[in-house]
Copies of this chain bind each other. A is one copy, B any other.
Amino acid sequence: MKRVAVVGATGYAGAELVRILAGHPEAELSLITSRQYAGAPIAKVYPAFAGAVELVCEAFDADAAAERADIVFTALPHQLPMEIVPDMVRRGLRVVDLSADFRFRNVDAYAAAYQPHSAPELSAAAAYGLSEIYGEEVRTAKVVGNPGCYPTSILLPLVPLLRAGRISPDGLIADAKSGVSGAGRSPGLGTHFPEVHESFKAYKVGAHRHTPEMNEVLTRESGSRVGLTFVPHLVPMSRGMLSTVYAAPSDGLTAAEAREILTDAYAGRPFVRVLPEGEFPATRSVRGTNRCDIGVAMDPAGDRLILISAIDNLVKGAAGQAVQNMNLMLGLDEAVGLNAVPYPL
């Protein structure tokens, strides 16, 4: 049993980590921290956990982490992890960070989107934890930068087709829709119930910080500079993310071929499911799971490939993929602990 710590356990991604790790057969959740709720049982913060998770939140302490854990998940707002991760790595801990701090190989791109990076070498050496794509790097990484939820949902359908050279790297568009939990647990007018309910809107049009994160990967995989057009939207629901991606097919690509390329690319991988012709995912279908469901169509009129992917933003888009990365780092089957049967409804 590996001992694992969750630093920042009371945000939504942190709580989802607690859910998954508390049921993980090869990991022992040995330490959870929360600045705001230090001293409180996690089941006070998330009463659903009552009787199921007995842990008490502690204030973060690097010594305690080093002593009581083998691997650490940091689920904190960006800028905090880069302050504490280097020290933990020095103490021999391996880290899966769920913020943006270790997602960029190009630290300048990080600096342009966020702020100057205080641990640039560590960032450049980290693995990008898109498990199905960069699993090999993840296995041996000291630090894994767990991808953003939008990038996960958008890169999984795109990367195999780009690698195969069967879609153009130019003119890619991702129209993405997220539930409100993606905004985190801190209240604000933009997530105040009466402002969100019965409304739908786009936000950060052309300005979301997941764009440079995706462009770095898309550029690497396609071999040419990619400038993705990305428009995120807010859906009046708590969890779930659906991305509708538009791409220009190359070399007469058909929908069937695209489906085959994706199916082959993810053969043997338990969490990506390419749907048969005429089927498209709904967020309900992946709720509570670590799956990414992908539907494929070719628009006849426009000769445009349409890729629709659905994930649970808190699972495959955050905590679930983080645990999948931990499994890879520990040499376990990547699906261990991620097979709880989801609620049907």
Q: In the complex, A343 Cα to B242 Cα: how many Å?
A: 20
Q: Which of A223-280 contact B (CB under 8 A)?
A: 227-231, 233, 235-240, 242, 244, 246, 270, 273, 280
Q: A50-B273, A51-B270 are in contact. Are A198 and B284 (CB under 8 A)?
A: yes
Contact across chains for A304 and B171 when beta carbons are under 8 A apart? yes
Known: A193-B236, A201-B282, A227-B301. 10 other contacts (CB 8 A): A15-B345, A18-B341, A23-B341, A46-B344, A48-B343, A48-B345, A175-B244, A199-B282, A206-B297, A340-B340
Whether a CB of chain B sits under 8 angstroms from the CB of A130 is no
Q: How many copies does the complex hold?
A: 4
Whether a CB of chain B sits under 8 angstroms from the CB of A103 is no
Contact across chains for A200 and B240 when beta carbons are under 8 A apart? yes
Q: Which of A42-91 contact B (CB under 8 A)?
A: 46-53
Which residues of chain B are within 8 angstroms of A99 by Cβ–Cβ distance? Answer: none
Contact across chains for B194 and A180 when beta carbons are under 8 A apart? yes
Chain A contact patch, size range: 35 or more
- List, sorted by A's number, 28 A–B pairs whose CB atoms are closer than 8 Å: A15-B344, A15-B345, A16-B344, A19-B343, A23-B340, A46-B344, A46-B345, A48-B286, A48-B289, A48-B343, A49-B341, A51-B270, A171-B302, A181-B345, A185-B189, A191-B194, A195-B284, A201-B310, A202-B295, A205-B295, A206-B299, A227-B299, A228-B301, A228-B302, A229-B301, A229-B306, A236-B236, A340-B341
Contact across chains for A304 and B187 when beta carbons are under 8 A apart? no
Q: In the complex, A181 Cα to B53 Cα: how many Å?
A: 27
Among candidates B46, B195, B341, residue contacting A53 with C-beta atoms closer than 8 Å: B341
Q: A341-B49, A341-B52 are in contact. Are A301 and B215 (CB under 8 A)?
A: yes
Which residues of chain B are within 8 angstroms of A314 by Cβ–Cβ distance? Answer: 345
Contact across chains for B202 and A308 when beta carbons are under 8 A apart? yes
Q: Which of A293-329 contact B (CB under 8 A)?
A: 293, 295, 297-304, 306, 308, 310, 314
Which residues of chain B are within 8 angstroms of A53 by Cβ–Cβ distance? Answer: 341
